[in-house]
Amino acid sequence: MSQDAMLGKTVLYYQGDDEAPNGYDKTLWQGNNGTRFHPAIVTRVHSETMVNLLVCYDATGTMVRREVTLLGDENFTEGTHCVLTGWRHLPVDPVA
């Protein structure tokens, strides 16, 4: 599977601390419907590291996100708490 940013590709969108509603402890906020990572479809490629996305939130609808930056390994923390907002390629299945 190619790891290039391309129109129509499914990626994962991560909600960073900056998306927590006012009044919430940003480090404890669990995101939309209990998760801070969501499937998204690339709707425009600005560069290999910046895209527009249609984010699919679980049970709460969709939202357009513009000019979203790729989260590199050096600034990404696996799990439900992500300091930065951004996107990542889907994990590659080594068997496929």
Residue 1 lies in a domain: no
The pLDDT of 1-12, averaged and rounded, is 85
Residue 91 has pLDDT above 60, yes or no: yes
Domain count, the chain: 1
Task: Please tell me the distance from the alpha carbon of residue 3 to that of residue 23, in angstroms, as a whole number.
Answer: 37
> Helix or strand or coil: residue 73?
helix
Pairwise pLDDT comparison (35 vs 45), residue with the higher score: 45
Highest mean pLDDT among 18-22, 48-52, 78-82: 48-52
Q: What Å distances lie between residue 80 and 32, 38, 76, CA to CA? A: 11, 11, 11
Residue 2 lies in a domain: no
The pLDDT of 36-42, averaged and rounded, is 92
Task: Please tell me the distance from the alpha carbon of residue 86 to that of residue 67, in angstroms, as a whole number.
Answer: 9
Pairwise pLDDT comparison (2 vs 35), residue with the higher score: 35
Of 5-9, 10-14, 59-63, 80-84, least confident by mean pLDDT is 80-84
Pairwise pLDDT comparison (44 vs 16), residue with the higher score: 44
> Helix or strand or coil: residue 19?
helix
**Angle CA 35–37–43, to nearest 5:** 140
Neighbours of 56 (CB within 10 A): 15
What is residue 1's predicted lDDT score, i.e. its pLDDT?
A: 44
- Domain of 81 in residue numbering reads as 10-89
